[in-house]
Structure 1
Amino acid sequence: MHILKLSGLQCRFTVSLAAYTMALCIYCLLWTPHSAYAAEIEGPDSALPAHAPHNHAPDLEDDLDDPEDVYKYTQIEENGEQHTKRVVGDVVTLGGSNVPGLLNIEAGNTTVWHFNNASLWAPYANATPGLPSSIDDGDTGDSGTIYKRQEASNRLVYISVTTCLQPEWNGTTNQTIVPPQLTLYVSNSTSNKEPGPSAPAERQVAITLNEGFANYSMNATTDVYMAVHAPAMPNNFTGIWNYEIAASIDNYYHGAHPASPFLYLVDTDTHAALLVTNNLTEANPDDLVYQQWMNLTSPFTVFVQPTIDKRLDGMRNSYCGMTHASINNASSSVQSGMITRGLGHKPKEQFYIQELNGSTSYFGVLAMEGNSTQIGPGVVGGGGQVWQPVNFKTKADNNCALVFNLTFCHDVAYAVPSNPDRYPDQPSLSAVYDSYAAGLYENFAKSLDQIPCNTTLSAQYSPAKNCDDCADAYKQWLCAVTMPRCEDFSSSLPWLQPRNMGQSPINSSASSIGSMPHSDMLMQVQDQLNQQYVPMTSAPSDSKAFNQTYGSVRAANSSRNPSIIVDKIAPGPYKEVKPCEDLCFSLVRSCPAALGFGCPDPGRGLEVDYGQRSDDGQVTCSYLGAVYYLNAAPAVGGKSSLAVFIAVVLSLWVLA
């Protein structure tokens, strides 16, 4: 975890502000001597370029009865005391389109900003390299909209504000509230050159920042005036706000997509989490854009913070807030890279976040620095973007470990039963499982070679499936059952299957972070062994299925693969997310009957060995590429009666 101290940030802000003010003074003396103060700004046509029309924007009020120059001071109550503060000061002119301004602001103060006519009618920015293609994150908000450039009577101006620093909690109790948000004011009247809390409401638009972000777009023909206002300081908070504001004629300089989930949880163990983006393109592997995505090193980044830590509450939609207030996306704790595993086998970015604590709740925020290739002033989108946070919790037991990026079972990515005493790192554990599955597949491949695959349609074993389908279905099933998806034994999720209860729990010193004490797990196991165990409610009434306990059945006391999991890895008790039953159905339908594959019947073992998919985004059964709340992938084979009917009709047609 790398946390930037606020005092240092404030010093840098002060230096930046001084340099900016000096440059502004020189600029004003040389070019626009009347733009320093709101009261001295001349008429709207004073600086129009030759090609610009001499009229007002159609949506501005032509209200020339400017109120008197009042509201310069106001009474602010802080901690029970009244203070007089200047709420409207000197106007600060932005340096141009896509050139942000950065300022500190104290409670109760207002700063007016000016986007001048020359910047409004300046040439549009040259295109800069960014992402290979736009991403469809489902965002319908203003921050993701790209408008058509206008050259006629007016221009569209994109205004955005982000909070980079906010007051800190200094109360004696735990923080229960967040600092209040700044407010962005944008004048919609040529007569309102000092927008803010004291200006007439009908002459401006007020937008309260949402988690440190706000944006607004408007048509304009001349100078645009904005303001940022800081609210009164609540009790038990101290400090200042720092914010960044920008106006652009191209597109928003800052971006936030608070309603767009684009980062998803794959799985966790006690010290790490595996997260992945949604598909970044729907292009096919032969398409150029597909290859361009896959050639990227790391277009996005991710920020992770414990939910109990309140320092980022109030700035979760702000890229600069994320980078300045708290950060753990350093290369030592986050590994990222492009993958095609999962839904659609399309390009995605994967994040492996380490140095986490066991049994701890976190939120992760997907972010993009600048426009992914360039950052900072002059770059369209140079202020970065953030997406909706994803919440997750790390595991509590130390006998489940994440594996991914395997050689043979390359679509496997989740926690599997482990033992850090015997396999202390991910590569060694992955190699054990992967080589075991590859060996089993080799034997299957020899059997499949005996089937006449490359023959005429009438001679094939199925008109709907071929040997490639069989091989793929077998590999999907094999990897899922050879590498069970592991969950904490302490979890109470109803779809989990207890496994290996007959083995003593491990008490690993190699995984001290988040490990469950040996005695606690042993007590949990002992308490459950004598409880009634009825996994198959549809079993025949005279079956022993209704007269058994967890301690009396093999399914709960051993593992799916005893020779490797029980004997070699020895993880102790764990719970398993059972493989999806459609993996077995697909295997039977895709392969020739000569191979002898079959699935257990309901009430005769199906419920013990396999689980069913959920429509609510939960991973209630294990399939390769499963991701929480991105469960849109169709069943591999499904249990569709229509599909079975079609297969039977086709088979009868061939026999006829």
Structure 2
Amino acid sequence: MLLPVSLFALVQSFVLLAEAQQQQLALDTVRDFNSSSLPSPPTFFISPSSDFRHVSVGLCASSAGAPRFFVSNDSSITHPGPDNVDGKSVIEISVGPEGYGSFAGFFPRGGFFAIQAGSVNTPFEILLSAANSTNPLSPFASETTANQAIVFSPSFDPLDPLEPSYPNYTLPSANLTQGNAPSPPKNYTLVYVPTANSPLASVLRTNCAIRSAAQQSNSGAKILSSNSATLWLRDDQGWRWEWFLGGSEGGLTPKTNYTMYTLQDGTIAASKPVMFLTKSASFACALVHQLPYCPAVAYAVPLAVPRPPQVAYTASTLPSPVGETIVSGMSNFTSTLTTLACGRDDYSPLVTCADCQAAYRTWLCTVSFPRCGESNPTSPTPPGASPSTALLGGSSAQQVLLPAVPALKTVNASAAARNPALPAFGEAYEVLLPCLEVCNAADRACPVFLGFKCPLPAFTASDSYAVGYVDSGREGEVGGGATGGAWDEFGNVWCNGP
């Protein structure tokens, strides 16, 4: 007895679906494959979903005969391939020169992912995810010394702003707490290597390609997981992993360029390469980091190198008068600020007492911890910031040429420290002046009755602040500076600021 055509088609569709479900792309699970040992058939079912989905692929090695990848957003098309690509129901995922590619769209009726093996044996990875895994954020190097560096991962799990309300208008304490870390946090792996003759320079920018190249015994690369890092809430952008380089994994080399990448678990593409330069062997300042009352401070300060086994200063090893002075000053400022009926008596339609306290904390920490720097005659000019003219004081007669080099100032050994709570350093050093915008931001955010004032660019501001780097140099004008920011992705730091 023959089955009716409609019933036969229904049975066949159930058979195909059952076979497909044995090879299904699970959400947020990276799958590793090799084009020489693909499953048969090399197709995978994608479950129906009303949510946006990304199908990403990443090659683990360069290959002229790499496999090709196809996706259908309709479960009736069970074998997408080069013969039925139409750009709508069947799409070929194009792999770019950096080794990865993706398709983003909806699969309301499910779909299929198919692989066409290439002529060369090539390892690769596949990922079905709700978020784009081929446009990762980059890490940044907060500071270096001759043989150490502090590196932060990209931020994750940003904080929800909590604005206090009247009458229980309670501001954060002077000595902040880090709060509850996300559980589980996003895991990152840091890979870094000397830039000169780096074997990673010609490698595809995928997690598997960089990891494989870095694991070669002659690569010279270091691989650090999040197990060797500390979770740190640096700012309201969210949590970060902080790596201290130059510890148990070995010190860095003075005056050397390094290239680093971060590899995030559950993604295909690595971050873009980011570089940093260590200081010269004579650089004497010590690193200070992990201060709850100044969470963004993670740089070199004019302090003698701590005694072993300590390799840097933290809140528990910093001379106690330093931290006590900042906490006391922050407490007194907050008490004065809250004499205003915050949340009831608005002094501005744009900012609040909470904004004022946060901006003041940034300013207080920046000026309380002078940032050591070092002249580097080969410092590159930041993009779009060739030597330019900054207009000071609003008068064309007061134009000065602002070179695109860091705002460094030499401090003599006998000079009084900007922060009297810091112990005497005993030798000359170069200090990276605070960005004037750090002061102006606090001035703008705080009520007038506090009497907070910043020096004027036309007169004395350049004696103690970096003018024209973030701010324009014109009175009352925000932005428009030569560098546009305190630091850049190439490891250059122009002035001391967040």
Give the shorter-chain TM-score range: 0.5 to 0.7
For 1:67, the equivalent position in structure 2 comes to: none
Q: Relative to structure 1, is the Cα distance of residues 562 and 387 closer, same or farther in structure 2, using a 3 angstrom cutoff?
A: closer
Amino acid corresponding to residue 244 of structure 1 in structure 2: F
Rounded to whole Å, the distance in 2 between the matches of 1:311 and 1:630 is 21
Matched, 1:96 2:23: yes
Matched, 1:262 2:138: yes
Q: Look up the SS of the partner of 1:324 in the other structure.
A: helix
Rounded to whole Å, the distance in 2 between the matches of 1:589 and 1:560 is 29
**Candidates 460, 464, 489, aligned match of 2:375:** 489
Rounded to whole Å, the distance in 2 between the matches of 1:401 and 1:584 is 25
Query: 1:589 offset after TM fit, Å?
Result: 5.8
Q: Look up the SS of the partner of 1:329 in the other structure.
A: strand
CA distances 1:326-366 after superposition (whole Å, capped 9, x unpaired): 152346x9742333323x35333433333432222222222
Residue pairs, 1:202-601, within 5 angstroms: 210-214=97-101, 224=114, 226-230=116-120, 243-244=123-124, 246=126, 251=128, 257=134, 260-282=136-158, 284=160, 294-297=182-185, 299-327=187-215, 328-330=222-224, 335-342=228-235, 344-354=236-246, 355-369=251-265, 371=266, 385-397=269-281, 398-420=283-305, 425-427=311-313, 431-432=317-318, 435-439=321-325, 442=328, 445=331, 453-454=338-339, 472-490=358-376, 556-557=411-412, 561=417, 568-574=424-430, 576-587=431-442, 597-601=452-456
Rounded to whole Å, the distance in 2 between the matches of 1:598 and 1:221 is 63
Query: 1:280 offset after TM fit, Å?
Result: 2.3
Amino acid corresponding to residue 346 of structure 1 in structure 2: G
Q: Relative to structure 1, is the Cα distance of residues 601 and 433 closer, same or farther in structure 2, using a 3 angstrom cutoff?
A: farther
Q: Look up the SS of the partner of 2:242 in the other structure.
A: strand
Q: Look up the SS of the partner of 1:568 in the other structure.
A: coil
Q: Name which one, 1 or 2, has greater alpha-carbon Rg.
A: 1
Rounded to whole Å, the distance in 1 between the matches of 2:94 and 2:340 is 69
Rounded to whole Å, the distance in 2 between the matches of 1:608 and 1:536 is 17
For 1:142, the equivalent position in structure 2 comes to: none
Task: Report the structure, 1 or 2, having the larger helix content.
Answer: 1
Q: Relative to structure 1, is the Cα distance of residues 161 and 335 closer, same or farther in structure 2, using a 3 angstrom cutoff?
A: closer
Query: 1:278 offset after TM fit, Å?
Result: 4.3
Q: Relative to structure 1, is the Cα distance of residues 212 and 254 closer, same or farther in structure 2, using a 3 angstrom cutoff?
A: farther
**Candidates 44, 67, 72, aligned match of 1:184:** 67
Q: Relative to structure 1, is the Cα distance of residues 297 and 253 closer, same or farther in structure 2, using a 3 angstrom cutoff?
A: closer
Task: Could you tell me which runs of 5 or more consecutive residues in structure 2 were left unpaired when the two chains were aligned.
Answer: 1-8, 73-78, 164-177, 216-221, 382-389, 401-408, 471-478
Rounded to whole Å, the distance in 2 between the matches of 1:284 and 1:610 is 32
Query: 1:607 offset after TM fit, Å?
Result: 0.9
Q: Contact (CA 8 Å) 2:191, 2:261: kept in 1 or not?
A: yes
Rounded to whole Å, the distance in 1 between the matches of 2:450 and 2:180 is 42
Rounded to whole Å, the distance in 1 between the matches of 2:340 and 2:485 is 37
Query: 1:227 offset after TM fit, Å?
Result: 1.4
TM-score, normalised with respect to structure 2:
0.60
Residue pairs, 1:611-630, within 5 angstroms: 611=466, 612-614=468-470, 628=489
Q: Contact (CA 8 Å) 1:437, 1:478: kept in 2 or not?
A: no
Q: Relative to structure 1, is the Cα distance of residues 630 and 407 closer, same or farther in structure 2, using a 3 angstrom cutoff?
A: same
Q: Look up the SS of the partner of 2:97 in the other structure.
A: coil
**Candidates 123, 131, 146, aligned match of 2:53:** 146
Query: 1:439 offset after TM fit, Å?
Result: 1.6
Rounded to whole Å, the distance in 2 between the matches of 1:330 and 1:448 is 40
Q: Relative to structure 1, is the Cα distance of residues 338 and 115 closer, same or farther in structure 2, using a 3 angstrom cutoff?
A: farther
For 1:151, the equivalent position in structure 2 comes to: none
Q: Contact (CA 8 Å) 1:160, 1:214: kept in 2 or not?
A: yes
Q: Contact (CA 8 Å) 2:158, 2:237: kept in 1 or not?
A: no
Q: How many residues align?
A: 410
- After the TM superposition, which of the residue ranges 602-611 and 210-219 deviates more from structure 2? 210-219
Matched, 1:160 2:67: no
Amino acid corresponding to residue 53 of structure 2 in structure 1: I
Q: Look up the SS of the partner of 2:156 in the other structure.
A: coil
Query: 1:226 offset after TM fit, Å?
Result: 0.5
Q: Relative to structure 1, is the Cα distance of residues 471 and 101 closer, same or farther in structure 2, using a 3 angstrom cutoff?
A: closer
Rounded to whole Å, the distance in 1 between the matches of 2:15 and 2:113 is 16
CA distances 1:554-612 after superposition (whole Å, capped 9, x unpaired): 975365726769962335322x2211223333555666778765433334321121124
Query: 1:426 offset after TM fit, Å?
Result: 0.7
TM-score, normalised with respect to structure 1:
0.48
Percent sequence identity over aligned pairs: 17
For 2:171, the equivalent position in structure 1 comes to: none
Task: Could you tell me which runs of 5 or more consecutive residues in structure 1 were left unpaired when the two chains were aligned.
Answer: 1-44, 54-92, 106-110, 127-133, 135-144, 148-157, 167-178, 231-240, 372-380, 496-534, 546-553, 637-656
Q: Contact (CA 8 Å) 1:469, 1:590: kept in 2 or not?
A: yes
